[in-house]
Chain A
Amino acid sequence: MSKVAIITDTNSGIMPADGEALGIKVIPTPFMIDGVEYLEGINLTQEDFFKKLADGADVSTSQPSPGALLELWDAMLKEYDEIVYIPLSSGLSSSCQTATMLASDDYEGKVFVVNNQRISVTMRQSVLDAIELRDKGMNGKEIKDKLEEVKFESSIYIMLDTLYYLKKGGRITPAAAALGTLLKLKPVLQIQGEKLDAFAKARTATQGKNIMINAMLSDFENRFGGIDAHDVHLSGAYSYDLEKANEFKGEVEAAFPGYEMHMDPLSLVVSCHIGPGALAIAASRKIHV
């Protein structure tokens, strides 16, 4: 049986230190803040990040450098036969494409890059699934195929506290453009598969949270076999405001009886475009061996 290593990046919400406990490797996402490079989870905490963001710092993100990635792969391949690499959704970043390209050269049959459109808590779930599959004896190719089988079976709704960062970033333009208004709105965005788009708008947090919960209830009904099927993982994410997040967790769990919502801080790649105070609800299909 081949020995399979699992590697992800910090967009999964799993920090390098947490990775050790899970027996996996986590490559940090690099950030440039006012011209200085930081690595998520290494020398940049959530606290520092939001402070700098609030101060109006010039923040930009990039994918892990190919050099760092190859170095890690090489190191791991000394110990392992195969690697399953789970990067951020190809719909939101080119890191998946870069990794796929790198893997196709000299790593054919050794590194399997998973392209299953996940981010944050749904990406974290994929990592946990990969660990489970590996422990059940699957090889790299089988794990990749299994994870990609449920590629489109996830759904995320994110309510932003403000449009400011979305506009400032200029990166998520189609969504931002649809929301050009004088009014202060709390936009609700959605990620279905690889597409990030505007979903709805609200004026107050309560309205926005209700929109997200109702949209997810409807997804459960129409896509995931109903609440009672228990065939999905329900999870949540937030940027910066833990208190609001816990309140939201209570509201979601009341609307989805029998589910426990795992809640993570949103990865900084996302936070940098949506700012603090955002809340998200996510669901992804369970995998079956």
Chain B
Amino acid sequence: MANTIKASDVKKMFLAGASNLNAKKEWINELNVFPVPDGDTGTNMTMTIMSAAKDVKNLPEDVDMGSLCKSIYSGAMRGARGNSGVILSQLLRGFTKGVRDYDELDASIIANAFDKAVETAYKAVMKPKEGTILTVAKGAAEKAMELAKEGAEDLEPFFEEIIKYGDEVLNKTPEMLPVLKQAGVVDSGGQGLMQVLKGALDAYLGKKIDYTIDEAAATPVASKAQATAEVDIKFGYCTEFIVLLSKPLNVKQEIDFKAFLESIGDSIVMVADDEICKVHVHSNDPGLAIQRALMYGQLSNMKIDNMRMEHREKLFHETQNGVYAEIDTEINGAAESTPTYNRDDDIPLKDQTPVSEKKAEPEFVNSEHKDIGFVAVCAGDGLAEIFRGLGVDYVIEGGQTMNPSTEDILDAASRVNADTVFVLPNNKNIILAANQAKIMMEDKGDNKKIVVIPTKTVPQGITAAINFMPGTSVEENEEGMKEAISTVKTGEVTYAVRDTMIDDVTIKQGDYMGIGDNGILGVGSDIEDVTAMMIDKIVDDSTELISLFYGSDIKEEEAAALSDRISAKFSGCDVEVQYGGQPIYYYIVSAE
């Protein structure tokens, strides 16, 4: 084998890495410590790398290293979503900095680039934690450096050694992070990174990429994780289509339709405006979803994939911004294939911004210029309405199930006609992407500024928005809002997607769980009991107001009944019930 690689090799290797990650994303999602339905590390990392792969794929075969690097890092930076996605984008950014000035890469240059990647990624995280993707990356980089110093020349053993060592570090992550050990999993972000590296190696070796390999055998993980990984696909067909509505859905129809979809599958995404409704569902009987949808209008852009036969899974659906991106699992000839993404750009949803290929100046959502504007991220029409009512100019309806990318946030901020845009991520997994958007806004240099208020939950975001004082300086507002968010306690109720153990609490698949700011606050088989149990723990003597935001799966009467129960128990507190409409989370509760 050769001792160096050229830009065209790096391109192939990058695309293969991205493909491999894409193929393994559901499995990586399963490694999430919290058995919540939206454990989405795999999805976030995949969407991040795919954003770059889309650009890279269209580069010419004889692309130079500089242009390739630019496509990789700028695509990844823009598409970065979720903490693991942002870290991955930083790793790619650092790596490309290390190689962009060379036409051919040898072991020593690659080792240096790995080092640069790790350095860049560590800098992006405020409090780097060991036992995560960072640790795995660092391990791989150290090995690369060690081999390079020993005079490694042949790249094949060089890459193989790095990957072998990376896997070793990955398998040690449960020893470094007790939560991983208790849950019986390795770090999901670290696993994602290894999948990228393995895909790249396969391409280097000239292997025909084969995705039918037994995942559990191919990549060693802790034993319990293997057991769950093997049974992970409960619903076999990924089904997507757009309903051209004969008339707008009313709230009841929307709720009914969603409930129906939930009865036949999972991973449901349903977004409707007055004209169209986009549907995404994993089901064992896609025909049922289609028949039901025909009640509301004609169907278009239909796509059904058999997820159990993953090598056929070619379609990658970016639900948030309505862009379809396809990446060929066949590396050869990738450049010749016709890109099929952007096919539904001609029917964009209201309040959604098609992200790609948008060169024109964005239209402002507010016509009157102001000093300070607001962007908030949340899932659920009720919550979106609440944020708008509090003066938020642009609501990104992503949140827990669909983490918006750095570019989504940047784009939303660009559409707010204000000098300074406060961004409320309302989810701890979105804060990093928001911070990255802030940096990208600074890089644009057009005097517009993003300020991220690190709100980890929706109630924290509401509190921040409420505490905004018009007419006061950006700095005072930033300080005031940051201070205010510490006064609100949040609890969220969802269900467990698998058996696990967290904080010494045994959780069974299908159990309801109440999750507070610092861990599990209640587990059981009755939503109301679990919610009440959780509320007991977040309310204290100083609590004056308990707010219940009920999700799309909860009926108004059920929320009212729970409210009565809570009011009776805490007679000294006001209890307020609001429709949140959020998916996945039955109740989001705050105490302040």
Binding site for B on A (CB under 8 A): 178, 180-185, 198-207
Contact = CB atoms under 8 A, between A and B. Distances in A.
B257 to A, nearest CB: 24
B545 A185 contact: no
A203 B389 contact: no
Contacts of A203: 463, 466, 545, 547, 592
Contacts of A199: 469
9 contacts: A178-B470, A182-B578, A183-B578, A199-B469, A201-B466, A203-B466, A206-B544, A207-B484, A207-B487
B389 A182 contact: yes
Contacts of B469: 199-200
B13 to A, nearest CB: 52
Given A182-B578, A203-B592, 17 more contacts: A181-B389, A181-B390, A182-B389, A183-B386, A183-B389, A183-B390, A183-B462, A183-B578, A184-B576, A199-B469, A203-B466, A203-B545, A203-B547, A204-B545, A204-B592, A205-B544, A207-B592
In the A-B complex, the 3 residue pairs with the smallest Cβ-Cβ separation, listed nearest first, are A181-B389, A204-B544, A201-B466
B467 interface: yes
Contacts of B462: 183
Contacts of B578: 182-183
A204 B385 CA distance: 21
Contacts of B517: none
Given A202-B466, A203-B466, A203-B592, A181 B386 contact: yes
A134 to B, nearest CB: 39
The residue in A199, A204, A205 that gathers the most chain B C-beta atoms within 10 A of its C-beta is A204
Interface of B: 385-386, 389-391, 462-463, 466-467, 469-470, 484, 487, 542, 544-545, 547, 574, 576, 578, 592
A182 B487 CA distance: 21
Contacts of B390: 181, 183
Contacts of A198: 470
A201 B576 CA distance: 17
Given A204-B592, A205-B544, A207-B487, A184 B574 contact: yes
Nearest to A183: B386
A228 to B, nearest CB: 24
Where chain B touches its partner, the secondary structure class is mixed
B576 A183 contact: yes
Contacts, number: 43
A182 B574 contact: no
Contacts of A185: 466
The residue in A178, A181, A185 that gathers the most chain B C-beta atoms within 10 A of its C-beta is A181
Nearest to B390: A181
A199 B472 CA distance: 10
A207 B484 CA distance: 9
Contacts of A207: 484, 487, 592
B560 to A, nearest CB: 16
B386 A200 contact: no
A147 B462 CA distance: 43
A207 B464 CA distance: 13
Contacts of B576: 183-184
Nearest to B382: A182
Nearest to A198: B470
B550 to A, nearest CB: 13
B207 to A, nearest CB: 57
A141 B484 CA distance: 49
B157 to A, nearest CB: 62
A74 B150 CA distance: 109
A178 B578 CA distance: 20
Nearest to A185: B466
A183 B390 CA distance: 9
Contacts of A180: 389
Contacts of B545: 203-204
Given A183-B578, A184-B576, A206-B544, A201 B386 contact: no
A207 B463 CA distance: 11
Contacts of B466: 183, 185, 201-203
Contacts of A181: 386, 389-390
Contacts of A183: 386, 389-390, 462, 466, 547, 576, 578
A39 B29 CA distance: 71
Nearest to A201: B466
Contacts of A204: 544-545, 574, 592
The residue in A184, A203, A207 that gathers the most chain B C-beta atoms within 10 A of its C-beta is A203
B354 to A, nearest CB: 30
Contacts of A202: 466
Contacts of B470: 178, 198
A200 B545 CA distance: 18
B119 to A, nearest CB: 43
Contact of B385 (A178, A182, A201, A205): A182
A149 to B, nearest CB: 27
Nearest to A215: B469
B87 to A, nearest CB: 35
A199 B469 CA distance: 7
A181 B578 CA distance: 12
A164 B580 CA distance: 22
Contacts of A178: 391, 470
Contacts of A182: 385-386, 389, 578
A199 B463 CA distance: 16
B373 to A, nearest CB: 15
B467 A201 contact: yes
Contacts of B391: 178
A71 to B, nearest CB: 44
